[in-house]
Copies of this chain bind each other. A is one copy, B any other.
Amino acid sequence: MSKKSASAASDTETRATSEHAPDLRLWLRTLACTNLIENHIRSRLRAEFDITLPRFDLMAQLERSPQGLKMGELSKRMMVTGGNVTGITDQLVAEKLVIREDSPKDRRAYIVKLTTEGRRSFRKMAEAHETWVVDLFAGMDEKQRSQLYELMAALKSSAAKVAAKK
């Protein structure tokens, strides 16, 4: 926050003033809310597993792709730059949670995979992570959650239309 910036960790809702459009208020409230949750998760990951959120995210991508992923694929899926993936991967390699293998097809590329230890470690963290998220949403009832799910799909599609043409 972030980030986050990260974003950005700001309680952005306080940015709104009375003459601002309702859309702006809606956006700032949404942002404040996700920052609150993301920062909470970030600090719990740090406190309980001594890992950063970006490293956790990268491992999560690899866990879904047991065959491994190229750096560029990680970059696309995580929506961050290649240089960023290089740095995070370096750290995870140093921690022996991940390995870089040469691609047999393309000598420019690496295949990044979880190590056995990395997979074991990730699964443990992912389990805790999931319960944290469940707790954070526990104050909403089932109908609210499913409404929010649909609205987020609508928002993503609305925003993607604008963000795409650039």
A94 to B48, CA, bound (A): 40
Instruction: Count residues on chain A whose CB falls below 8 Å from chain B CBs.
Output: 78
In terms of DSSP, what is the predominant structure of the interface of chain A? helix
Q: Which single member of B10, B36, B135, B161 contacts A156 (CB below 8 Å)? A: B36
Name, among A25, A148, A149, A160, the residue most crowded by chain B CB atoms within 10 Å (CB to CB).
A148
Given A27-B137, A156-B36, the answer on whether A61 and B14 have CB atoms closer than 8 Å is: yes
Q: Mark A61-88, 1 if CB is under 8 A from B, else 0.
A: 1011000000000000111100000000
> Can you spell out 15 A-B residue pairs with CB atoms less than 8 angstroms apart?
A2-B6, A3-B6, A3-B8, A5-B5, A5-B7, A14-B64, A23-B134, A32-B156, A33-B155, A36-B159, A139-B158, A139-B161, A144-B151, A148-B151, A148-B155
Which of B1, B29, B36 interacts with A6 by CB under 8 Å?
A: B1
Chain B residues whose C-beta falls within 8 Å of the C-beta of A14 in the assembled complex: 61, 64, 77
Instruction: Quote the shortest CB–CB distance from A153 to chain B (angstroms).
Output: 7
Q: How far is the CB of A86 from chain B (nearest CB, A)?
A: 15
